[in-house]
Structure 1
């Protein structure tokens, strides 16, 4: 029978005929399209071809249990709600369910009304997240989402293009910078940007917000913005020309080189520097460079 794409699709993974019958009936009456798998491996085979809106996962099954199936399924369905439903109610089982990627936990025997209410809430939240992702894609932003371990949950097309241009290939569930990101997020020092050195140029990763307990939204600062003197002019008490001089100072250029770039004499460049030092209250080139870089990165000076 063809799938009704107008209704949310629920994949039910359970080897109990009694549970399947009750859940199937309740979901159909609730307006959902139901797919059934009898073990974790069957479930993985299904999601490789069809993306459900939500997964109901039993914990204990033959061939492959729900915990392992959920862990592998997260690579294919990074944001899809996966609700565990099981008679296991010990704290360690509940913790294990969440550690393997579960979104929620329902203890058997299942109450149909509670089940429908939870599924409806999770599907609604997932759709809101999906809409937000589409909006970010359309806005052409360098945004990515990662979990606590630094593994990528999703990225905008512009992010994939930017990272690929710097020698970093991104795949859902993996990220070559996971170690750096994991330590950064785990250390909770996300008020400071993460600077990642690549084969071409440094990338500045800024923490945007926590989506939920195990999803973090990050933004890669536009590289063109880092080379825009208007950023310095807006952040510091300097003129447009002084901002241009300071930008090149921050990039390690000498007065002679800056003069050639801006068609100024080295003496004029030095006069601008004297004014800059006075205005930003420093007395040497190194201190001015430090303040310029912090301003370019959007950090508080």
Structure 2
């Protein structure tokens, strides 16, 4: 039977027939489309094909338990609410669930009205977050979120695409430039941009805001905004020719490439750079690029 795309999809992961019957009835009465998995492995197979709006996860199941399933599922679905519903009531089990990526924890026996209320609240919040990130993308805001260790928490789809174009494949919890980002973040909110050099072109990472103690929003600045050297000439104490050189430096071009573009020798390009460094009070290309982008 085809899924009803007009209603939110709830994936229920539980091997208990009694629980499944009660939950299925309550969710259908609440207007939700229900998918069922009898263990964690089945649940992962389902989310590989269909993205639910919320997941209800039992803890103790055969083949793969809820804790391991939640950990793996969170890598695929960073925004989807995952609610544990289990008879395990000890504090260590609750802590373990949240450590493995749980959004909420409900103990059995379940109250259908409470369950529906929690699901509705979590689905609403997840949709708001999704809509906000889509709005960032439509405004060409390439945003990514990292923790204090520089590990990737999430990205907008357009930021992920921009990274991929530059040869950077991203995975949640990992980032090839985590060490550089961790050092750049330090203990403060950086005022200067971070220049990350890739095989294709430099990426300019700008600090956006701190969400909480261990989450920071960063923005990848679109270098193609820098198209007119007159902007740099007006904003900085440089000549027209120096502004043209600085523009291409900010685009990641080498002295040789800049010389070919501007029909001058690499040595002349270097002389212009020396003058630029003195005038804008920097001592390397990365710092000059940061000043150019900010200007």
Bin of the TM-score, shorter chain as denominator length: 0.7 to 0.9
Cα drift, residue 13 of structure 1:
1.0
Cα drift, residue 67 of structure 1:
0.8
Question: For residues 214 and 16 of structure 1, what CA distance do their matches in structure 2 show?
Answer: 37
Contact 1:143/1:218 (CA < 8 Å) preserved in 2?
yes
Question: For residues 108 and 230 of structure 2, what CA distance do their matches in structure 1 show?
Answer: 61
Equivalent in the alignment of 1:296: 292
Equivalent in the alignment of 1:244: 243
Cα drift, residue 185 of structure 1:
8.4
Question: For residues 76 and 181 of structure 2, what CA distance do their matches in structure 1 show?
Answer: 21
Cα drift, residue 152 of structure 1:
5.8
Equivalent in the alignment of 1:42: 42
Question: For residues 10 and 212 of structure 1, what CA distance do their matches in structure 2 show?
Answer: 29
Cα drift, residue 125 of structure 1:
1.6
Are residues 212 and 43 of structure 1, via their aligned partners in 2, closer, same or farther at CA, if it must alter by over 3 Å? farther
Which is further off, 106-115 or 68-77? 106-115
Are residues 187 and 16 of structure 1, via their aligned partners in 2, closer, same or farther at CA, if it must alter by over 3 Å? farther
How does 1:55-74 map onto structure 2 within 5 Å? 55-74=55-74
Equivalent in the alignment of 1:179: 178
Equivalent in the alignment of 2:122: 122
Equivalent in the alignment of 1:77: 77
Question: For residues 133 and 249 of structure 1, what CA distance do their matches in structure 2 show?
Answer: 31
Question: For residues 68 and 117 of structure 1, what CA distance do their matches in structure 2 show?
Answer: 26
How does 1:91-130 map onto structure 2 within 5 Å? 91-130=91-130
Equivalent in the alignment of 2:143: 143
Equivalent in the alignment of 2:157: 156
Cα drift, residue 92 of structure 1:
2.8
Are residues 248 and 3 of structure 1, via their aligned partners in 2, closer, same or farther at CA, if it must alter by over 3 Å? closer
Contact 2:227/2:247 (CA < 8 Å) preserved in 1?
no
Equivalent in the alignment of 1:200: 200
TM-score with structure 1 length normalisation? 0.73
Superposed CA offset, 1:56-75 (max 9, x none):
11112111100111111123
Size of the alignment, in residue pairs? 279
Cα drift, residue 290 of structure 1:
8.4
Equivalent in the alignment of 2:132: 132
Question: For residues 167 and 296 of structure 1, what CA distance do their matches in structure 2 show?
Answer: 24
Question: For residues 9 and 290 of structure 1, what CA distance do their matches in structure 2 show?
Answer: 48
Instruction: Name the SS of the counterpart of 1:224 in structure 2.
Output: helix
Contact 1:204/1:220 (CA < 8 Å) preserved in 2?
yes
Question: For residues 234 and 99 of structure 2, what CA distance do their matches in structure 1 show?
Answer: 45
RMSD: 4.0
Cα drift, residue 93 of structure 1:
2.1
Instruction: Name the SS of the counterpart of 1:220 in structure 2.
Output: strand
Which is further off, 30-39 or 132-141? 132-141
Question: For residues 241 and 100 of structure 2, what CA distance do their matches in structure 1 show?
Answer: 54
Which is further off, 197-206 or 32-41? 197-206
Question: For residues 185 and 122 of structure 1, what CA distance do their matches in structure 2 show?
Answer: 34
Bigger Cα Rg: 1
Question: For residues 247 and 5 of structure 2, what CA distance do their matches in structure 1 show?
Answer: 56
Are residues 30 and 223 of structure 1, via their aligned partners in 2, closer, same or farther at CA, if it must alter by over 3 Å? same
Contact 1:11/1:36 (CA < 8 Å) preserved in 2?
yes
Cα drift, residue 202 of structure 1:
2.6
Are residues 102 and 149 of structure 1, via their aligned partners in 2, closer, same or farther at CA, if it must alter by over 3 Å? farther
Contact 2:57/2:85 (CA < 8 Å) preserved in 1?
yes
Q: Which runs of 5+ in 1 are unaligned?
A: none
Contact 1:150/1:181 (CA < 8 Å) preserved in 2?
no
Which is further off, 19-28 or 137-146? 137-146
TM-score with structure 2 length normalisation? 0.74
